[in-house]
A and B are shown apart, each in its own frame.
Chain A
Amino acid sequence: MSELPPITYTLEYPYTRTTGPVVGAFLTALRDGRILGSRCGDRVICPPLEFDPDTAEPVAQDLVEVGPGGTVKSWTWIAEPTRKHPFQQPFAFALIVLDGADTALSHAVKARGIDAMSTGMRVRAQWREERASAVTDVYFVPEADAVDTYVPPGEGEVELTEHLISLDFKEAIHPFRERFARGLIAGKFIGQKSPVSGKVYIPSKGYDPLARVAMTEADDVELPPVGIVAGYTVITPVQYYGQKETEPYIRASILLDGADQPLGQQDIKNIPHDEFRSGMRLRAVFRPESERKIVEMDNRWGSTGGVIDHWEPTGEPDAPPEKYLEHLF
Chain B
Amino acid sequence: MAERSAVIGIGQTKYARRRGDLSIDGLVREAALRALEDAQLTFKDIDAIVIGKAPDALEGVMMPELSLADALGAVGKPIHRVHTAGSVGASTAISAATMVESGIFDTVLTVGYEKQSDGNATWALGGGRSGSQGAGGSFAPWIRKYIEKSAAPEHIGWKVAVKDRQNALKNPYAHLHLKDISIEKVKESPVLWDPLHFLESCPSSDGAAAMVLTNEKGVARAPQPPAWVVAHAKRTEFTQFPGRDTVKPAAGVECAKALYKKAGITNPIRQIDCAEIYVPFSWYEPMWLEGHLITEEGSGWKLTESGATEIGGDFPVNMSGGVLSSNPIGASGMIRCLEAANQVRGTAGDYQVDGARVALGHAYGGAANYFAMWIVSSEKEPKFS
Contact = CB atoms under 8 A, between A and B. Distances in A.
B75 A241 contact: no
B131 A301 contact: no
Contacts, number: 159
B70 A251 contact: no
A127 B120 CA distance: 32
A16 interface: yes
B306 interface: no
Contacts of B242: 199, 210, 260-261, 326-327
B144 A278 contact: yes
Interface stretch (B168-176, B191-199, B219-227, B342-350): B191-199
B60 A233 contact: no
Given A13-B120, A237-B131, A321-B148, A159 B75 contact: no
A242 B130 contact: yes
B60 A165 contact: yes
B145 A328 contact: yes
B25 A15 contact: no
B312 to A, nearest CB: 35
A328 B21 CA distance: 44
B298 interface: no
B190 A231 contact: no
A23 B142 CA distance: 44
Interface in A279-329: 296, 300-301, 303, 321, 325-329
Contacts of A51: 25, 29, 70-71
Interface residues of A, number: 59
B75 A54 contact: yes
Contacts of B148: 278, 321
B343 to A, nearest CB: 31
B278 to A, nearest CB: 20
Contacts of B70: 49-53, 56
Contact of B119 (A13, A21, A303, A326): A13
Contact of B133 (A49, A209, A210, A233): A233
Interface of A: 11-13, 15-23, 49-54, 56, 159-160, 163, 165, 199, 209-210, 231-238, 240-245, 249, 251, 253, 260-261, 265, 267, 273, 278, 296, 300-301, 303, 321, 325-329
Given A18-B118, A199-B242, A245-B130, 9 more contacts: A15-B118, A17-B118, A56-B43, A235-B134, A240-B120, A241-B120, A253-B141, A260-B242, A261-B240
The 3 closest A-B pairs by CB, nearest first: A20-B23, A231-B141, A56-B73
